[in-house]
Amino acid sequence: MSSPPACPVPLAPEVIQLAHGGGGRATWRLLHEVVRPALGITGVSADAAELAVPPGARLAFTTDASVVRPIVFPGGDIGRLAVFGTVNDLATAGARPIALSLSLVLEEGLPIDVLRRVLGSIAAASRIAGVRVVTGDTKVVDRGRGDGIYTSVAGIGVIAPGVDVGPHQIRAGDVVIVSGDVGRHGVAILSVREGLGFEATIESDCAPVTGLLDALVDAGTELHCLRDPTRGGLSAALHELAIDAGVEIALSEPDVPVDGRVAAACELLGLDPFAMACEGRLVVIVPPDHAARALAALRSRPEGAHAAAIARVAAGTAGRVVATTVLGTRRLLDFAASEQLPRIC
Amino acid sequence: MSSPPACPVPLAPEVIQLAHGGGGRATWRLLHEVVRPALGITGVSADAAELAVPPGARLAFTTDASVVRPIVFPGGDIGRLAVFGTVNDLATAGARPIALSLSLVLEEGLPIDVLRRVLGSIAAASRIAGVRVVTGDTKVVDRGRGDGIYTSVAGIGVIAPGVDVGPHQIRAGDVVIVSGDVGRHGVAILSVREGLGFEATIESDCAPVTGLLDALVDAGTELHCLRDPTRGGLSAALHELAIDAGVEIALSEPDVPVDGRVAAACELLGLDPFAMACEGRLVVIVPPDHAARALAALRSRPEGAHAAAIARVAAGTAGRVVATTVLGTRRLLDFAASEQLPRIC
């Protein structure tokens, strides 16, 4: 009599259970068998990580929560978005990332395989950005109180020597540059979520902007302010800068790079491409005599190939963004009251 | 004809809407009229904050997500828990906090007044811990995809000079001390959530342990390892340490301080007080010749008045926690497979 063959496939797929958040053996196993290996965290567990900081470094600190839906979209996923969102926020302070933390809110019932894939994406994105997740926390909420997975990534970065950027540096006459075409991320999410059958797939621009920052710094560009135009898109970024710096911004609409498919999708749906989120673009504000150098530096990298000078800072009315249209007329750009699309990041 | 009197009360209470997460004007107003004032964040907005770090400082980095339900409980609320959870994780690395980040996941429909109260609690808890929230992110999820409010707080701390703690420092013969009675937080949450009418209210121990760390360091205590016994309680903390250090821990059950009401509640409900979460206790592991000094240092502060030596590190079997009971018998302490109570922090 032979024994029955071992079942090669688990009878039920592994899913997240409330016990995985309880702090007992199930939590320990989830962390040591799934989370830490996927992120490449080795050594003994601890509640905090010690950082190696270069002596004399100036540090920047930021955090970004990600609640994007769906968690996988053309050109990216929640893992890439979580890492690049934080890395790009550091870049807007002129900083390169040196360490990330990851906190997870998992919903009961999430397949552990999905968690593994998100963690794998976080690890891959971290490698691309030249940084690692060094500490974290994992919580579980009951079914119907989450949406699979929410992430929060905090990041610490070292500010490049000599860089001091912020709205306080913005002066009338400064030139506003964007590193590439705008609105891709928002439209990519919209197309997949609403099941819109655009002829060609529009991919998110989801990417780190750290390389663009390096190129600007290496070229000796005098940087006044940096911003990544995420939620609310280019329009919200320019409005926030105009408010914080107490200036008016004069935008030249025809100079703003917009992919033809993005423009077509927005026109079809009555959306404003300037208010659609980017996740891999940098808005760079420089004094006029550094504009050519900044453009050349950005264009020296593939992700900055379509960089363009799009606006000028004017004394004018604080907080106002005035656009010159393709017809040569002028209009006030609207600081949209509400989102065009919820949960895009 | 007189104009109608201005309505002194808004017709509908203000609640979080998806638009508050969209990155447009509604987001800007929420951040500038509610979030930043409540946290005392001033100056222009930026996506990252620059940190003031003392030269030569060694830094620790950690993060903690909070999904506790209900958000207000006897002795604390989600705001205090979020801040102290992170501050205490830093303390277990021997570090004092210098900066916090806050990311919020808000559910559509959350009354803005509740958000204000949570933010006020975060600000107050930060003041108590001697630190500030310097950067953050706020996202909104649709109704039924969250539970009012989830927080994630990351923290950076400066490690006290000369301190190098961790499981790698634990040696056979070391003494294990706990700074106060255990299990309060778990029982406090349980009592309010389940509507149990215990005769006396059991309050959470939710508090920062930073002052206890200071007392230990100021007394010149040689510290081998620190841990805060949160989810999974004292039992999970001891098991994790025994696993990571490759040692056995011999616990003396009668020496573990447990409040009489906590013990009674646990007995009534068939729960193990050693597996109930604490949120304001510190487990301290020191060489035997420093045990008296460590106890005196802890007891010099009100929150350490009930500090007690509870266990010894033995060579024994790695990962095992053996308890001597009040009857003098010995039993293996269980590393509970699942939580006794979900979402307690």
Contact with chain A for residue B217, Cβ under 8 A: no
Q: Which of A105, A166, A338 sits opposite B22 (nearest CB)?
A: A338
Task: Give A 249-308 residues with CB within 8 A of chain B.
Answer: 275, 277
Q: Which of B134, B159, B184 is a domain's end point? A: B159
- The reply to whether A95 and A201 lie within a common domain is no
Q: Which of A61, A139, A147 sits opposite B99 (nearest CB)?
A: A61
What is the DSSP annotation of A32-90?
A: IIIIHHHHT--SS--SSEEE---TT--EEEEEEEE--SSSEETTEEHHHHHHHHHHHHH
Q: How far is CA B324 from CA A25, A55, A303, B255, in A?
A: 22, 49, 64, 10
Which is nearest to B217 in space by CA: B305, B297, B280?
B297
Q: Which of B18, B155, B230 sits opposite A339 (nearest CB)?
A: B18
User: Does B74 sit behind a cis peptide bond, omega within 30 degrees of 0 on the bond before it?
Assistant: no
Burial of B6 (0-12, 13-18, 19+ CB in 10 A): exposed
Q: Do B342 and A166 touch (CB under 8 A)?
A: no
Compare all CA atoms of chain A with the CA of B19 and give the residue at the minimum distance. Answer: A338
Q: Do A61 and B49 touch (CB under 8 A)?
A: yes
Q: The dihedral of CA A115, A116, A121, A124: what is its sign?
A: positive
Looking up residue B31, the CATH number of its domain turns out to be 3.30.1330.10
Task: Please state whether beta strands A248-252 and A308-314 pair in parallel, antiparallel, or not at all (unpaired).
Answer: antiparallel
Which is nearest to B20 in space by CA: B137, B133, B144?
B137
How confident is the model at residue A4, as a pLDDT? 46
CA angle A144, A148, A153 (to 5 degrees): 125
CA distance B288 to B311: 11
Q: Which of A23, A145, A156 sits opposite B156 (nearest CB)?
A: A156
Q: Is the pLDDT of residue A309 over 80?
A: yes
> CA of A145, closest CA in chain B: separation in Å?
5
Looking up residue A294, the CATH number of its domain turns out to be 3.90.650.10
> CA of A46, closest CA in chain B: separation in Å?
7
Q: Do B65 and A147 touch (CB under 8 A)?
A: no
Q: Which of B94, B124, B159 is a domain's end point? A: B159
> CA of B278, closest CA in chain A: separation in Å?
12
Reported residue count of chain B is 345
- The reply to whether A114 and A132 lie within a common domain is yes
> CA of B328, closest CA in chain A: separation in Å?
26
Q: Chain A partners of B93 at a C-beta cutoff of 8 Å? A: 46-50
Task: Give B 317-336 residues with CB within 8 A of chain A.
Answer: 335-336
CA angle A314, A276, A223 (to 5 degrees): 40
pLDDT (average), residues A253-279? 94
Question: Could you report the average pLDDT of every consecutive run of 10 residues in chain B (345 residues)?
Answer: 46 82 90 94 79 89 97 96 98 97 97 97 98 96 97 97 95 98 95 74 95 98 97 95 97 97 92 94 98 98 98 96 95 78 87
How confident is the model at residue B55, as a pLDDT? 84
CA distance A148 to A66: 12
- The reply to whether B192 and B320 lie within a common domain is yes
Tokens of B252: 């003396």
- ipTM for the complex? 0.94
Which candidate in A50, A63, A84, A169 is best for mutational testing of the B interface (most B CBs within 10 A)? Answer: A63
> CA of A56, closest CA in chain B: separation in Å?
6
Q: Which of B119, B136, B159 is a domain's end point? A: B159
How confident is the model at residue A337, as a pLDDT? 67
> CA of B35, closest CA in chain A: separation in Å?
15
Domain that holds residue B95: 18-43+57-159
Residue for token pair 């013969």: B173
How confident is the model at residue B335, as a pLDDT? 87
Its pTM stands at: 0.94
Q: Are A105 and B105 in contact (CB under 8 A)?
A: yes
The answer to whether position A338 is within a domain reads no
- pLDDT confidence of A23, banded at 50, 70, 90? confident
Which is nearest to B280 in space by CA: B68, B89, B102, B97?
B89
- The reply to whether A194 and A178 lie within a common domain is yes
- The reply to whether B322 and B187 lie within a common domain is yes
Tokens of A279: 């996740």
Count Cα atoms within 13 angstroms, Cβ side, for A2: 3
How confident is the model at residue B336, as a pLDDT? 79
- The reply to whether B141 and B200 lie within a common domain is no
According to DSSP, the residues that pair with A95 across neighbouring strands are A159
E strands along chain A, which residues?
49-51, 59-66, 72-73, 76-77, 95-107, 133-141, 149-159, 175-178, 225-227, 248-252, 283-286, 308-314, 321-324, 330-332
Contact with chain B for residue A26, Cβ under 8 A: yes
Dihedral angle, C-alpha B166, B167, B170, B175, nearest 10 °: 80
How confident is the model at residue B276, as a pLDDT? 94
pLDDT tens across A108-123, in order? 999 999 999 999 999 9
Q: Do A59 and B45 touch (CB under 8 A)?
A: no
pLDDT tens across A225-241, in order? 999 999 999 999 999 99
Q: Are A345 and A277 in contact (CB under 8 A)?
A: yes
CA distance A101 to B143: 28
The answer to whether position A152 is within a domain reads yes
Which of A2-16, A279-293, B164-178, B197-211 shows the lowest per-residue confidence on average (mean pLDDT)?
A2-16
Q: Do B53 and A49 touch (CB under 8 A)?
A: no
Tokens of A138: 């994992």
Q: Are B311 and B235 in contact (CB under 8 A)?
A: no
Count of structural domains within chain B: 2
CA distance A97 to A91: 8
CA distance A314 to A294: 20
Contact with chain A for residue B44, Cβ under 8 A: yes
The answer to whether position B48 is within a domain reads no
How confident is the model at residue A8, as a pLDDT? 47
User: Does B70 sit behind a cis peptide bond, omega within 30 degrees of 0 on the bond before it?
Assistant: yes
Q: Chain B partners of A27 at a C-beta cutoff of 8 Å? A: 231-232, 236, 339
Q: Chain B partners of A105 at a C-beta cutoff of 8 Å? A: 65, 67, 105, 150, 152
The answer to whether position B306 is within a domain reads yes
| Core vs surface per residue B253-281: b (16+ CB within 10 A) or e | beebbbbebbebbbeeeebbbbbbbbbbb
The answer to whether position A244 is within a domain reads yes
- The reply to whether B312 and B216 lie within a common domain is yes
How confident is the model at residue A2, as a pLDDT? 46
DSSP state of B290: G
The answer to whether position A218 is within a domain reads yes
How confident is the model at residue B199, as a pLDDT? 64
- The reply to whether A102 and A219 lie within a common domain is no
How confident is the model at residue A93, as a pLDDT? 96
CA distance B23 to A236: 7
- The reply to whether B303 and B235 lie within a common domain is yes
Tell me what percent of the residues of chain A surpass a pLDDT of 70. Answer: 93
Contact with chain A for residue B60, Cβ under 8 A: yes
- Other Cβ atoms closer than 10 A to B11: 5
The answer to whether position B343 is within a domain reads no
What is the DSSP annotation of B131-155?
A: --EEEEEEEEE-TTSS-SEEEEEEE
- The reply to whether B201 and B70 lie within a common domain is no
pLDDT tens across A30-81, in order? 999 999 999 998 876 677 889 888 888 999 999 999 999 999 999 999 999 9
Q: Are A134 and A41 in contact (CB under 8 A)?
A: yes
The amino acid sitting at A331 is R
> CA of A300, closest CA in chain B: separation in Å?
26
| 3-state SS record for A89-102 | HHHCCCEEEEEEEE
The amino acid sitting at A325 is T
- The reply to whether B280 and B140 lie within a common domain is no
pLDDT (average), residues A181-185? 97
- The reply to whether B248 and B281 lie within a common domain is yes
Interchain CB contacts (distance < 8 Å): A and B: 305
Task: Give B 116-175 residues with CB within 8 A of chain A.
Answer: 134-142, 144-147, 150, 152, 154-157, 159, 166-168
Q: Are B104 and B137 in contact (CB under 8 A)?
A: yes
| 3-state SS record for B165-197 | CCHHHCCCCCEEEECCCCCHHHHHHHHHHCCCC
Q: Do B167 and A23 touch (CB under 8 A)?
A: no
Q: Are B277 and B344 in contact (CB under 8 A)?
A: yes
CA distance A304 to A317: 31
pLDDT (average), residues A187-195? 87
How confident is the model at residue B339, as a pLDDT? 59
Reported residue count of chain A is 345
The answer to whether position B254 is within a domain reads yes
Q: Chain B partners of A93 at a C-beta cutoff of 8 Å? A: 46-50
CA distance A41 to A10: 27
